[in-house]
Chains A and B, each alone.
Chain A
């Protein structure tokens, strides 16, 4: 119970920090780092869930953009290398877990006539 409560509390804390980050990022930060967002407000509420979920990545990217640390070529570098690894791991994992699941499946004793184990108190 303690672990479960701690996990739930951790998630709540994560969400509260995310809400604070969202409040600052979506009112001040976004205008500083993206000219396409200046004067555009209707889409901003749609961004709130992402900030709540991945606010550390948001803060990291915000800092990167403000400090101009990202190399120009980085954003043009396609990410395909992990694709094969991801696909292989997923495929192997699915095959293993499906067969594992099927192997431990228990058979429901259908078709077996019920048996009265004791006579009961009234008899």
Chain B
């Protein structure tokens, strides 16, 4: 079984998502450049290059703030999940907006001397020993490099090639990038700001990111602590619906999809072997669960794709303690058959959802 890579996997939802995002970027730039110069106090005689640089810089900050809010918001409230699924396009667009900002800066402030403009950027201000007048450009350069790495590694291929743990560690750069952007703004444009509106907008954005992430982290920590131990609780037996899964988050952060199929429980890794799609969101048809991303199928009892395909995912042991379904956090090697566990009284086909 193989799904060849394509440059971008479009579907109707992604088209809509991207269209809304692009319209939002265009609207932001238009409002910033032509509607609110006096409100944001940049109506003084600045040239188009500086005007555009500020517009794209502000836009990149807002986009990065929204991106960083989507993740924790989706973890705290599942209604935000649709925003999460196409976030990588948002990230790539943010990198383009940020690089446009950098381009305007570079081609205005550092472009009219005999020295190379990149050398000029690094050389023009070297007051690293003081806070006022600190070369804030260095924070912008670092953030831009981070954004470029994240955007450049956003294709599905990189997730599979680097493996999710390496990819995820690499993408933790987003937090360093956001701090760097905050430093870039605080020691840069904020020093020259006459009007406090921009300062307030900036601080509210940064505060939203901080509050949402801290809240999501505390929420996850509470769940993980509750599930710490040899066996992890998944859900009460009555919460399962035939043909569907409940996704358990283990103390180590791993996700396990526990399915009810014909009155019996089986558990496999929630990550598809193809490109780590969320198997737990798939439905069982003819004993096989289908990954919602690319249609890869697995037998939930063994974690194996049907012959002649060879994909495999790890399986987990399941047990029922009282009314609670539990899963053992130690994964079996991919493709290991585990005898399904019958539930005491199978629910009706209508089932009950949690």
Q: A: which residues have CB within 8 A of B?
A: 1, 3-5, 7-8, 11, 33-40, 42-43, 46-47, 49-50, 52-54, 57, 61, 65, 70, 72-84, 86-91, 93-95, 97-98, 100-102, 104-106, 108, 110
A-chain residues with CB within 8 Å of residue B7 when the two chains form the complex: 42-43, 46
- A46–B5 Cα gap in the complex (Å)? 11
The 0/1 profile, CB within 8 Å of A marked 1, for residues 151-180 of chain B is: 111010110111111101110100110110
5 closest cross-chain pairs (CB), A and B? A101-B186, A80-B253, A78-B253, A50-B152, A4-B122
Tell me, rounded to whole Å, the shortest Cβ–Cβ distance linking A2 to chain B. Answer: 9
The 0/1 profile, CB within 8 Å of A marked 1, for residues 327-341 of chain B is: 000010110000000
B-chain residues with CB within 8 Å of residue A3 when the two chains form the complex: 122-123
- A83–B271 Cα gap in the complex (Å)? 19
Residue of A nearest to B176 (CB): A90
10 new A-B pairs (CB below 8 Å) besides A84-B217, A104-B131, A105-B193? Answer: A7-B122, A34-B160, A43-B6, A57-B166, A61-B162, A75-B164, A86-B172, A87-B214, A95-B210, A101-B186
Partner of A78, one of B115, B182, B255: B255
B-chain residues with CB within 8 Å of residue A108 when the two chains form the complex: 194
A-chain residues with CB within 8 Å of residue B182 when the two chains form the complex: 93-94, 97-98
Contact A77 B116 (CB under 8 A): no
B-chain residues with CB within 8 Å of residue A8 when the two chains form the complex: 116, 118-119, 122
B-chain residues with CB within 8 Å of residue A40 when the two chains form the complex: 4-6
Q: B: which residues have CB within 8 A of A?
A: 2-7, 115-116, 118-120, 122-123, 131-132, 145, 148-149, 151-153, 155, 157-158, 160-166, 168-170, 172, 175-176, 178-179, 182-183, 185-187, 190-191, 193-194, 199, 203, 206, 209-210, 213-214, 217, 220-221, 224, 250, 252-255, 269, 271, 274, 313-314, 331, 333-334
Residue of A nearest to B253 (CB): A80
Partner of B314, one of A11, A76, A90: A76
Partner of B165, one of A37, A77, A102: A77
A-chain residues with CB within 8 Å of residue B172 when the two chains form the complex: 82-83, 86
A-chain residues with CB within 8 Å of residue B169 when the two chains form the complex: 79, 82
Partner of B148, one of A53, A81, A101: A53
Residue of A nearest to B181 (CB): A94
Contact B254 A39 (CB under 8 A): no
For this complex, 6 residue pairs linking A to B, each with C-beta atoms less than 8 Å apart, are A5-B119, A49-B151, A78-B255, A86-B175, A88-B217, A106-B191
Contact A75 B165 (CB under 8 A): yes
Tell me, rounded to whole Å, the shortest Cβ–Cβ distance linking B130 to chain A. Answer: 9
Contact B179 A1 (CB under 8 A): no
A-chain residues with CB within 8 Å of residue B199 when the two chains form the complex: 102
Assuming the contacts A43-B6, A79-B164, asked whether A91 and B214 have C-beta atoms less than 8 A apart, the reply is: yes
Partner of B210, one of A82, A94, A106: A94
Contact B119 A80 (CB under 8 A): no
B-chain residues with CB within 8 Å of residue A81 when the two chains form the complex: 252-253
- A34–B209 Cα gap in the complex (Å)? 37
Contact A106 B175 (CB under 8 A): no
Residue of A nearest to B122 (CB): A4
Assuming the contacts A34-B157, A34-B160, A104-B191, asked whether A84 and B221 have C-beta atoms less than 8 A apart, the reply is: yes
Contact B217 A49 (CB under 8 A): no
A-chain residues with CB within 8 Å of residue B190 when the two chains form the complex: 101-102, 105
A-chain residues with CB within 8 Å of residue B213 when the two chains form the complex: 87, 90-91
A-chain residues with CB within 8 Å of residue B165 when the two chains form the complex: 74-75, 77-79
